[in-house]
Amino acid sequence: MILSKSAIWILCVLLVVSIFMANLLNIIATDHNFYIENENEGINFTKYLGEKYVKITDTTKNLIWFLQISDIHISIFRDPGRISQFQQFCDNTVKTINPAIVLATGDLTDAKAKDNLGSSQVKTEWVYYHNIIKESGVTDATVWLDIRGNHDNFNIRTINAQENYFRNYSVQGQEHAKSYMHIVDQNGIKAAFLGIDACPDPGLRRPFNFIGILDITEQQIIQKLKAEAETKADHIVWFGHYPTSCILPLKDESPWLDLRQLIGSSHGSQVYVCGHLHSMGGLVPKMYTKQKKGYLELELGDWKDNRMYRLGAIDHGQFSFVDQKHNVWPLVLITNPKHATYIMPGREPLHLVPKSTHIRILAFSDVTIKSVEMTFDQISWMKCRLTKAPLYVCNWLPYLFTKGIHHMYVKVTDDLGREANIDHPFTLDGSLMNFEISARILLMLDAGIVFQAIFGTLLLVNVLPLVVLRLQKYPPRYRRRFGRQVLRRIWLLSKIDRIFYPIVLYAVYLPFGPWAIGELIDSHIGAIFAWGILIKGSFLPEPFTYMYGSVQLMFVQIPLIFVLAHCLEHRLFGQNVRGIRRLIKNLPFVFLLSIQLLLAYFFWLEYGTTCFIFGPLRTWSIALSILLWYKTLNLPLEYCRNLIKLNDMPS
């Protein structure tokens, strides 16, 4: 049986899609058995932890807990609740929970102009942040570890610039300008909290400050901090603003640092906590995954709009966590047995759980806890007893739950009658539970490669069909009438040199030529290219430029082809159309031009007049669109006659 051309094309497309999906699923797989690949090292480490912690009982020893807050975005222009409720968090929440550490993982201030597009450091916002922490006295009760986010780095010429207010108004800024480490030796646990500052230097204005960059110096500092943490602590909690998917190591020198590999190379590494992605506007509230090296990566929803914070705990070598909305009480975290999704074989002494004597629950409220109850069947409820706040315990028989996934249900009630009801899956044999696929994609892929792939694909979509159609001698065939008409219009358009070459040459220009030249930082001229940014004699390989260019291709350049094809049809077959009907025929171009003007206006607000004037990507493309539209509507009659003859040719 002879396959048709359409069938062959479909098979080729299916093959490419299948290969792509197979590679994608392999990259984001979380069932990768780190423990088996590193069995000897894993056995030695967990054996060491097992000897250190011995047995999980009802004692409060070998237990610490900490808090994380991220993307606070203190702003003097919008949402005063961010400031007032952040003050409540420091005054009440932190003091109620009494953690060993509070991690503030970046974007401490908003640093955005009143129009929400311009960006620069605002001293008043930093003063608010500083005063709230100082007046609350929170640093007297706990250790506050803050680190910069991309908003805290907007429009900063250098790390030592006067406008880098993090140095003077944060808690850690005076002592630690960038990455640093803090050791906690408390209650029988030695834990290192290692902060990664991946803010680029210099710090551009938004939006070209989305991806974090680790230069060679910072890579070496992080490696030294990690080596020190391994000698001084049993557990390493890594924290930073950017997810690992949004951190790009500079590769000017070899060897360069693979951050995920570095984090995973130490068995003491259990988790990397971060912010930055804001749970994708709430679409991915549980943005958690387990990286290939067997440790957890946990993105925390923002304080800015959602008022989220995180409680994390290390209990007898096991890491547990829960994310909670501000002012929602009681707060409950079950530490033994830990949640089945987040077990880390080879990094935790999981062999202690089947031998443990007690279920362990941390319960907090801003009033007295009235009762803590648990059950396995939602029928026979057992009361848990308080050993020492906040730890509640209950005897159990773990040998009854040795196979598969089981569920424990916990109900906590406080004196105001507020209840927290927890459905807690657990396993004693290492049975796996899956992470959400959207979270795995966002945290396990490389954002820079994704942005490049999107840009490259859209570039091909913009150029390839036009080139292929131009090479065809006869009109393209298609079964459906509408599709056939659209293809014919674009085929005719591809035959017009004065339209075809400007479209193709502009698309070819985008990957190579500058997109804008101007003040990317106050008083510093730079140039934006698809492949990075040149400023102050240095090169920043900021991959977000590809995404910025993709917007231009998706919403301007590709639609422009269809709009011009529509205008061509009007020029060839609609000469008698006048008045309001003529205006309606040109509405698609008016709409497209409006989008271009809006994008150019936004770019002007972001980077100023110089970039606006010398901006081939946003500004000059407007002139190109108007010119091509004018040329299409005013084709010479001879051109029109030839095109009409071509259109009348059989497919």
11 domain residue, yes or no? no
Q: Do 492 and 369 share a structural domain?
A: no
Q: Do 381 and 460 share a structural domain?
A: no
* Run of H or E residues at 484: helix 481-494
8 domain residue, yes or no? no
Q: Do 99 and 248 share a structural domain?
A: yes
End position of a domain, from candidates 444, 468, 492: 444
pLDDT the model gives residue 350 = 92
The per-residue pLDDT for range 532-576, each reduced to its tens digit, is 899 887 888 889 999 999 999 999 999 999 999 888 877 777 655
Count how many domains the chain has.
2
pLDDT the model gives residue 632 = 87
The share of the chain scoring above pLDDT 70, in percent, equals 86
Q: How many residues does the chain have?
A: 651
pLDDT the model gives residue 51 = 72
CATH label of the domain that carries residue 407: 3.60.21.10
End position of a domain, from candidates 444, 459, 476: 444
533 domain residue, yes or no? yes
Q: Do 433 and 451 share a structural domain?
A: no
Mention every residue, 6+ apart, whose C-beta is less than 8 A from residue 406: 376, 425, 426, 427
Query: Mean of the per-residue pLDDT values for the chain?
Result: 88
| Cα gap 481→479, rounded to integer Å | 6
Q: Do 415 and 538 share a structural domain?
A: no
Q: Do 167 and 290 share a structural domain?
A: yes
| Cα gap 163→156, rounded to integer Å | 6
Q: Do 490 and 366 share a structural domain?
A: no
Q: Which residues pair with 540 in a beta bridge?
A: 533
How far CA 408 is from CA of 59, 344, 376, 413, 527, in Å, comes to 21, 20, 5, 17, 58
| Residue 180 CB neighbour total at 10 angstroms | 18
DSSP of 289-348: EE-TTS-EEEEPPPHHHH-EEEEEEEETTEEEEEEEETT---EEEEEESPPGGG--BTTB
Residue 573 is encoded by which pair of tokens?
A: 């077959």
Q: Do 481 and 385 share a structural domain?
A: no
Q: Token pair 């919403």 is at which residue?
A: 555
Q: Do 520 and 417 share a structural domain?
A: no
Region for 135 from its dihedrals, namely left if φ exceeds 0, alpha if ψ lies in -120 to 50, beta otherwise: alpha
| Cα gap 482→478, rounded to integer Å | 9
CA-CA-CA-CA torsion sign (364, 367, 371, 374)? negative
pLDDT the model gives residue 395 = 95
3 domain residue, yes or no? no
Residue 254 clears pLDDT 60, i.e. is over it = no
Q: Which candidate, 543, 532, 548, places its Cα nearest to that of 211?
A: 543
Average pLDDT over residues 604-633: 92
| Residue 279 CB neighbour total at 10 angstroms | 22
Q: Which domain holds residue 407?
A: 18-444
End position of a domain, from candidates 444, 478, 506: 444
Residue type for 47, please?
K
Residue 261 is encoded by which pair of tokens?
A: 């590999």
Q: Do 581 and 475 share a structural domain?
A: yes
pTM of structure: 0.90
Q: Do 513 and 365 share a structural domain?
A: no
519 domain residue, yes or no? yes
| Cα gap 213→392, rounded to integer Å | 43
1 falls in which pLDDT band (50, 70, 90)?
Answer: very low
518 domain residue, yes or no? yes
Residue 485 is encoded by which pair of tokens?
A: 């008409």
Q: Which residues pair with 293 in a beta bridge?
A: none
The per-residue pLDDT for range 297-320, each reduced to its tens digit, is 999 999 999 999 999 999 999 999
Vertex 434: Cα angle to 428 and 439 (nearest 5)? 135
Asked if residues 357 and 57 have their Cβ atoms less than 8 Å apart, the reply is yes
DSSP of 430-472: ----PPPHHHHHHHHS-HHHHHHHHHHHHHHHHHHHHHHHHH-
The per-residue pLDDT for range 490-523, each reduced to its tens digit, is 888 888 888 999 999 999 999 998 999 998 888 8
Asked if residues 272 and 298 have their Cβ atoms less than 8 Å apart, the reply is yes
Vertex 91: Cα angle to 89 and 95 (nearest 5)? 90
Pairing type for strands 247-249 and 212-214 reads: parallel
| Cα gap 464→500, rounded to integer Å | 12
9 domain residue, yes or no? no
4 domain residue, yes or no? no
Q: Do 514 and 397 share a structural domain?
A: no
